[in-house]
């Protein structure tokens, strides 16, 4: 792969969280980054920050749920840069609630953004990649797409769909070896995602521990740009959690208990749609969930518990 300073990169969901962190890291390396999100004002703030770091940034307000807008992004970038080197599908919304209590319109909206939005981005990017004979598509996924998670069925279904999308595209693109499709599987990342979540549980929503920094997520994406591979994780605990959660019976019990204890807080919360239909004004990278301290001890204890659970699950499976 070329050096990042020579690349033209599209980032969807670039106004906050992982998307903004990735854009800033690309800009700091001297790359050209196209910022895609719904909130024009937030994109302008991010673009100015990218330019201050030495990169070139172009803000382009667009909604990933509209296929024609994603094709317009691709067309305008080719007109401006002559090519697209990397397209990062990252835009996402989050939802919590029992499935029977979530409005069907909200379920559809989550799937529109978190799954169909990736299809639209992939279609726009690959149409350009095929013409130029090369390109890198990175789909930002989640460990939850492999492990499952209670009270987040629409989000989990979308992330599971992203896994299938990436695999299918790799099969389709065998005739163009210069095109790579990668899936980045993240655990909980400290972003505004959870604060912006649609909430139908009646309780406050928090991320599952441990919560890793958005800057660490951005660095992981840049490593994937430099050294593409089919899939990658952030953090040593993520693949272990996935394997445990995929074990019949015990894995689902572990995840369900973890969500009950950690993700649904003790405080009451009003039912609301979060940022499903309207972009938030918050364009920060962090959601403030880490408290400025790396939970090293928490990670170690959680990892030890998961290791014990993994071997217990294996013994039960063999019995």
pLDDT of the residue at 297: 39
In the chain, what is the straight-line distance between the N-terminal and C-terminal CA atoms, in Å? 48
Which tokens is 194 given? 């959870």
Q: Residue 207: which domain range? A: 4-318
Three-class secondary structure of residue 273 per DSSP: coil
Closest CA relative to residue 35, chosen from 197, 54, 16: 16
Q: Count of domains in the chain?
A: 1
Peptide bond before 210: cis, by omega within 30 degrees of 0?
Answer: yes
Catalytic residue among 155, 200, 233, 277, which?
155
Which tokens is 259 given? 């969500």
The C-alpha atoms of residue 138 and residue 26 are separated, in whole angstroms, by 14
pLDDT of the residue at 315: 55
DSSP 118-173: HHHHHHHHHHHHHHHT-EEEEEEEETHHHH--TT-HHHHHHHHHHHHHHHHHHHHG
* Residue pLDDT, tens place only, 43-89: 999 999 999 999 999 999 999 999 999 999 999 999 999 999 999 99
Residue 152 has pLDDT above 50, yes or no: yes
Residues 6+ apart with CB under 8 A from 61: 36, 37, 38, 39, 40, 43
233: annotated active-site residue? no
Residue 269 sits in a domain whose CATH number is 3.40.50.720
Full-prediction pTM beyond 0.85? yes
Place of tokens 């992939």: 122
- Give residue 250's pLDDT band: very low, low, confident or very high (50, 70, 90): confident
The C-alpha atoms of residue 240 and residue 121 are separated, in whole angstroms, by 30
């Amino acid at each position: 792969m070329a050096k990042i300073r020579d690349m033209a990169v599209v980032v969807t969901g670039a106004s906050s969280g992982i998307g903004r962190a990735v854009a800033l890291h690309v800009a700091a390396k001297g790359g050209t980054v196209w910022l895609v999100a719904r909130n024009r004002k937030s994109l302008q703030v991010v673009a100015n920050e990218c330019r201050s770091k030495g990169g070139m940034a172009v803000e382009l307000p667009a909604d990933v749920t509209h296929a024609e807008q994603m094709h317009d992004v691709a067309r305008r970038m080719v007109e401006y840069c002559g090519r697209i080197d990397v397209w990062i599908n990252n835009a996402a919304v989050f939802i919590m609630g029992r499935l029977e209590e979530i409005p069907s319109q909200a379920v559809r909206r989550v799937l529109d953004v978190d799954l169909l939005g990736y299809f639209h981005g992939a279609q726009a990017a690959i149409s350009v990649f095929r013409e130029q004979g090369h390109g890198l598509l990175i789909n930002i996924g989640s460990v939850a797409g492999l492990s499952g998670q209670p009270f987040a069925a629409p989000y989990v279904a979308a992330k599971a769909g992203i896994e299938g999308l990436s695999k299918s595209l790799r099969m389709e693109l065998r005739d163009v070896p210069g095109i790579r499709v990668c899936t980045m599987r993240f655990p909980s990342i400290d972003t505004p995602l959870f604060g912006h979540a649609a909430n139908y549980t009646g309780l406050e929503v928090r991320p599952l521990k441990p919560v890793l920094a958005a800057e660490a997520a951005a660095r992981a994406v840049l490593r994937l740009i430099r050294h593409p591979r089919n899939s990658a994780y952030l953090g040593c605990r993520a693949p272990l959690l996935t394997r445990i959660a995929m074990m019949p019976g015990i894995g689902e019990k572990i995840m369900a208990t973890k969500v009950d204890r950690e993700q649904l807080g003790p405080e009451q919360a009003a039912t609301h749609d979060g940022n499903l239909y309207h972009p938030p004004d918050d364009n920060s990278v962090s959601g403030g969930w880490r408290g400025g301290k790396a939970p090293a001890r928490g990670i170690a204890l959680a990892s030890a518990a998961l290791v014990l659970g993994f071997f217990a699950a294996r013994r039960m499976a063999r019995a």
